[in-house]
Amino acid sequence: VHLCLRKADQKLVILKQIPVEQMSKDERLAAQNECQVLKLLSHPNVIEYYENFLEDKALMIAMEYAPGGTLAEFIHKRCNSLLDEDTILHFFVQILLALHHVHTKQILHRDLKTQNILLDKHRMIVKIGDFGISKILSSKSKAYTVVGTPCYISPELCEGKPYNQKSDIWALGCVLYELASLKRAFEAANLPALVLKIMSGTFAPISDRYSPDLRQLILSMLNLDPSKRPQLNEIMAQAICIRPLLNLYTDVGSVKMRRQVTLPPQPEKPLAPVPTVTHSRTGGRASSARSRGVRCGSAKTGIPPPLSSIYTWGSGITTPLRLPMLNTEVVQVSAGRTQKAGVTKSGRLILWEAPPVGAAGGASLPGATEQLQPQFVSRFLEGQSGVTIKHVSCGDLFAACLTDRGIIMTFGSGSNGCLGHGNFTDVSQPKIVEALLGYEMVQVACGASHVLAVSNEREVFAWGRGDNGRLGLGSLECHNCPQQVTVPPEHEAQRVICGIDSSMVLTVKNQILACGSNRCNKLGLDRISSAEEPSPEDQVEEATVFMCAQSAPLNQEPIVCADIGTAHSAAVTASGHCYTFGSNQHGQLGTNSCRNSRVPHLVVGLETMKVTVVACGDAFTVAIGADGEVCTWGKGARGRLGRKDEETGVPRPVQLEETHPYLVTSVACCHGNTLLAVK
C-alpha cells in the first residue's frame, strides 16, 4: 500500500498494489471483488474508491486516504484510559450508518474489525475500508465460505453454517465492546480455545461507569442466536443511539468557535525584510531530471532493414500501401471502422492514424484536382508502463487488448456497453474490465458493437449490443458488463469470432458454434446434408444461443479458421480448403455466378495453395496461403481487393512490395479495409 500525491488536484490518495503475475485465480477474484464492491459504495463513512489501472504488472486500486490511522491504533494509544460513553457512541453510530449503507447494497463486509476502521486527521470521523473479502449477496441469500479475522468471527461461522448480515452485526458488537473496554471481546492463546470462547459466548462485562443501555446493546449484538440479534435499523431506533445520530447530522462539519481575548494595543514594529530564497539547487535538480527524461535524437547511421512490414488497402487505397513502422516487429494486427492497430513482439500496442483532412499527408480537401496517396502516422499507445499486450481486437470506435497475464482492457466509445465497464462512458486510455479479473483470459474478439472473450478454462463471456441474439445469451438485450455464455455441454470453446450482427465459437474439436443473424445462411446454421438447397423448415434466420453449424460440409470437416463478414462468412478446413457461405451479391463467395444459394461453396482457384487463414470484409474475402500467398475476391470498389478490378468474383493474387521471401503473420478485414502483417 502506497501513499501518493495525485498531480491533478494535489490530493493525497492511497494506492493499493496487487501483484497480478503471482496471483492465483482466487486472489484475482478477491481483487476483482474489492473493485466491484468499492464502486457500488458511496457514503461519507466508507473509504471512497477513485479508479484502478495496471502498472508494472500489478493492479493498482486508488482510494481515499484517511490520515488519522486505524481505530485499533487509537484504542491502543488509550492504554487503560477508558473512553467516555459519548465518544464511544459518536464512533459507533458512524460505523452503524456505514454498515447500513453496505447492507442496503446487498453486500456483506465479512471482515469488520477495528484495524479496518479508519479515522480522519481530527480523529472524529470514521470510515470503514478493506472490502477484499466482502460478498455481494442476492436478496435473502446466505454466504457459506469461512472468512474474516478469527477474533471477530461469529458462532455460525465457527460451526460452518450459512450466514448473512447478522454475522456483520456480531462483528459490530465486537467493535463496540472493544471501544468500551479497550480490549477484544474474545481472545485466546490458540484458535481452538478462541472458537470455544466464541461458541460459549462468554466475555468479561464492561465497566460499571457505562449505562445499562450500552451493556444491553452489546449483549444483544453478541447473541449466539443470529435470529435474536437486532437488525441495523432496530439498533438505530434504540434510545441510546437517537441522540448521537442527531448530533452526527448537526455537528459533523461544524466550525469550532473560540472567544477572542482583546489585548492592549502593541507598538508597531517595522516589517522584517523577507529573506531571499535561492532555488538554484532544487531547480537545477528538477531541470536535470527532466532533461534525462527527454529522448535525445541520435545521428542516423543507416536505416536497418524492417523487422516486419504492415500493408493496408481499401477506402480508396487501390494497391497495398506500406504503413510506417517504428523499428519494431508487429506480430498481430486488427482493423476497425476507423482504427488500425497492432501488437509488437515486445508487447506494445501500435496504432496507425491518418492526418486530418487538409493537413500534410492527409486526405485531399473537397474540390482538389489531384488525389494524393493517403499517408499514415504510427505511434505507440502510451500510459501502459510495464504492461505487456499480446493481442488486440478492434470494433467500431473501440478496441480491446489482452495482456500476457490474461487481463482484458478496453478503450474508446462506450456506446452499447462495448467496453464492459458497467456503463456507457467513453474511455481514452485502456481500462481493465474488472468483471473478468477473476479469470485468466486467452482471447478476445470485437464485432461492430459487441465483444466475446474466452478464458483458459474454456469459459465464454459476452457483452455489448444484443440485437439478433449475437451475444448468445438467449435474449436480444444489451449488456454493459461481461455475461457468462452457456455453450453446449459437449463442446469446449477454443476461439471466438465476432461479426457485424453475429458470433462464432471454434471448439477444441474444430467445430463451429454460432449465434446471431443467419441471413443467407452466413453462419451455416441451416440443416443441409448435401448440395441441395434447404427446405424452409430447415432454414434458420436467427439464433439467440450458440448452435452447432448444421450445413454440410461445415459439420463434417474439422475447421481450423473462420471469419464473419457483413453478409457472408468463410471457413478453412484442416486440409487447407476454403469454404464460403452466405450472400454472393458481390461475388464474395468466390464464384462469378451471383447465385442465390444457402449451400456452403468450396472456393475454386486456390488449388495451388494451402489456405491457412481467411478474413472477411463487408463484401469481399482475403485468403492467406501457407507460403505467404495473398488472394482476394468479391466487391472491388474503392480498392477493397488491393488489385486491379478484373475478375473480381474469383480469387486472384495481391502483389506486395517485398524483395525477400516473407510469411504473412496476421490479417484483418473490417468494412472495406484490409490490414496485413508480413515477416
Q: How far apart are CA 602 and CA 180, in angstroms?
A: 82
26, 56, 86, 111: which one is catalytic?
111
Q: How far apart are CA 618 and CA 541, in angstroms?
A: 19
Q: For residues 534 and 525, is the Cβ–Cβ distance under 8 A?
A: no
Positive or negative: CA dihedral 423, 429, 433, 434:
negative
- Helix H or strand E segment including 506: strand 502-507
DSSP three-state, residue 157: helix
CA-nearest of 261, 269, 75, 100 to 181 is 75
Q: Which amino acid is at 125?
A: I
| Bridge partners, residue 392, by sequence | 401
Residue entry with cell 458454434 = 513
Q: How far apart are CA 563 and CA 550, in angstroms?
A: 17
Q: What is the dihedral of CA 493, 497, 503, 509, to 10 degrees?
A: -30
336: cell is 476497425
Q: Are strands 49-55 and 2-6 parallel, antiparallel or unpaired?
A: unpaired
Residue entry with cell 462512458 = 425
Integer CA distances (angstroms), 203 to 177, 424, 426, 514, in order: 10, 52, 54, 62
DSSP three-state, residue 35: helix
Q: Is 5 exposed, middle or buried (CB count within 10 Å of its CB: 0-12, 13-18, 19+)?
A: exposed
9: cell is 488536484
Active site residue 225: no
Q: Is 576 exposed, middle or buried (CB count within 10 Å of its CB: 0-12, 13-18, 19+)?
A: middle
Q: For residues 507 and 531, is the Cβ–Cβ distance under 8 A?
A: no
Q: How far apart are CA 449 and CA 669, in angstroms?
A: 16
Q: How far apart are CA 97 and CA 593, in angstroms?
A: 73
Q: What share of the chain is helix, strand, coil (3-state, %, to 5)?
A: 20, 30, 50
Residues with catalytic roles: 111
